[in-house]
Amino acid sequence: LEFVLATHNAHKVAEFQRIIGERMPQAVVVSYDGPEPVEDGVTFAANALIKARTAAAHTGRVALADDSGIVVDVLGEAPGILSARWAGHRAGDEANRRLLLDQLSDIARPNRGAEFRCTIALVVPDPLIAGGSEFVAEGRWRGEITYEPRGSHGFGYDPVFEPDGLERTAAELLPEEKNAMSHRALAFVELLPELERVAAL
Ligand code: ITT
């Protein structure tokens, strides 16, 4: 099976390559460099579908897209779908983390609960499946926001996220440790039976 991965985030691509390589070694992942759609959905699932549909329509291939982010309990599930641009459009990961820590500066444990969420959309274009077909899977990874960033692996909010049951942040985990338990890995595992069905077409 060959499919396009509709993301421009190099960190996501690297994680997917490892996650997919381990669980579906026969798959060939091609990156997508076509037009970027406007992500104007209000849920992770809507945005993942927008990205995967665009890539499938543009390439005629089976497409996968990931829409993800961090959801913080005391912030009413923000930043959520705005995670990538929480501190502004081009502010970047470090500014996003800083803003989040500032917003939680008066909040003590155990009220710093949060979770990473990842939705993966799979779009199989017509005529591979008559009329086309869509599938969505979600993974959630619970933990807490730390008081200070720690660790240098990963990306985004990893240095300020301590998964439940661990005393290390996601950025202090080795890539293979993160990819065995992350929201992205959980979503992929949920999607796997569907991907295997498509591979057998
Ligand atoms: P594409 O739309 O091109 O895939 P993007 O980075 O804009 O790339 P999203 O809109 O899905 O994608 O935003 C995801 C953001 O959520 C990402 O930039 C991080 O800030 C955060 N995030 C998602 N997964 C993460 C992870 O595993 N570790 C740390 N932060 C993560």
Per-block mean pLDDT, blocks of 10 residues, the chain (201 long): 93 95 93 93 98 96 98 98 97 98 98 98 95 97 98 98 98 97 98 94 88
Beta bridge partners of 11: none
* Contact (CB, 8 A) for 151 and 160: no
Q: Quick one: tokens of 177?
A: 């440790």
Q: Which residue's CA is the closest to the ligand 1 atom numbered 1?
A: 7
164 is catalytic: no
Fold of 2-199: Maf protein (3.90.950)
Please, which residues have CB within 8 angstroms of residue 37's CB and are 6 or more apart in sequence?
A: 50, 51, 53, 54
The pLDDT score that the predictor gives to residue 1 is 84
pLDDT of residue 84: 97
Ligand 1 contact, 37 CB (< 6 A): no
Q: Given this model, what pLDDT does residue 107 score?
A: 98
182 lines ligand 1 (CB under 6 A): yes
116 in ligand 1 pocket by Cβ < 6 Å? yes
Instruction: Give yes or no for a contact between 16 and 183, defined as CB atoms under 8 angstroms apart.
Output: no
Supply φ then ψ for residue 99, to 5 degrees. Answer: -60, -45
Answer whether 7 contacts ligand 1 (Cβ < 6 A).
Answer: yes
Q: Where are the domains of the chain?
A: 2-199
How many CA within 13 A on the CB side of residue 90? 0
ipTM of predicted complex? 0.98
How many residues in the chain? 201
Residue matched to tokens 């991965």: 5
85 annotated as belonging to a binding site for a ligand: no
Nearest-atom index, ligand 1, CA of 170: 28
d(CA 169, CA 161): 5
Catalytic annotation, pick one of 67, 93, 106, 164: 67
Count, in order, helices (H) and strands (E) of the chain.
5, 6
